A and B are shown apart, each in its own frame.
Chain A
Amino acid sequence: QVQLQESGPGLVKPSETLSLTCSVSGGSISRYYWSWIRQPAGKGLEWLGRMYSSGSANYNPFLKSRVTMSPDTSTNQISLKVKSVTAADTAVYYCARVVYSYGSWYFDSWGQGKFVTVSS
């Protein structure tokens, strides 16, 4: 069974770039789509984007091009970068695998989440 684990700094300064890595074990990142989703404390879920293992991606249009995702097939990892962060980017960040069945794309496996605080 595939397992996902997010890692990276838990504290980022305003205006800097948030960088996280999702390490995938028990399966290859190849031939799958992968997403990042975040959740501010006590609030709902927000989709950041979706990336195929080849590197092609599409992002949440409401994040104004601040988000970038990229794969590393040699290390079986997915990375996330969010630039020019503000306090509003403080959240738990999840990576998730995307699968397709019965005409539907859905997130079938999730990491445990990484809490990131944006503060000086």
Chain B
Amino acid sequence: QSLLTQPPSASGTPGQRVTISCSGSSSNIGSNTVNWYQQLPGTAPKVLIYGDNQRPSGVPDRFSGSKSGTSASLAISGLQSEDEADYYCVAWDDSLNGHVVFGGGTKLTVL
């Protein structure tokens, strides 16, 4: 099935800025908004970014999202140890009568 493409892993040291990419196509990212979720070990995912670049209340402004064409990015500045988690991008796909597609996930390690 269709998936958005994310790097399987990323890493950074405390205080650094890290970006995670998400690549899609014209039927998903190219025509719909992107959301990002953070999944800490053993817990349910939590929304970090919706509508390409909007943060829900309670999400630190260290997290930011952007989109260009058929790709999106999540940036985390001032990296902290508690940011070590899996990150997923998600978008609606207009093909096949419409469905939600997830990225494969990126495991972020704080060194």
- Report A's interface with B, CB cutoff 8 A: 35, 44-47, 50, 58-62, 94, 101-108, 110-113
Contact = CB atoms under 8 A, between A and B. Distances in A.
Contacts, number: 67
B45 A58 contact: no
User: What's the interface size class on B, roughly?
Assistant: 20 to 34
B56 A105 contact: no
Contacts of B60: none
Contact of B103 (A44, A50, A104, A105): A44
A3 B33 CA distance: 26
A44 B47 contact: no
Interface stretch (B21-29, B75-83, B91-99): B91-99
Contact of B47 (A60, A61, A107, A113): A107
A45 B46 CA distance: 13
9 nearest A-B residue pairs (beta carbon): A102-B51, A104-B51, A47-B100, A62-B1, A110-B44, A104-B33, A106-B50, A61-B96, A106-B35
B11 interface: no
Given A105-B92, A110-B46, A111-B44, A35 B100 contact: yes
Contacts of B101: 47
Given A104-B52, A104-B54, A107-B37, A61 B97 contact: yes
Given A45-B88, A62-B1, A110-B44, A104 B99 contact: no
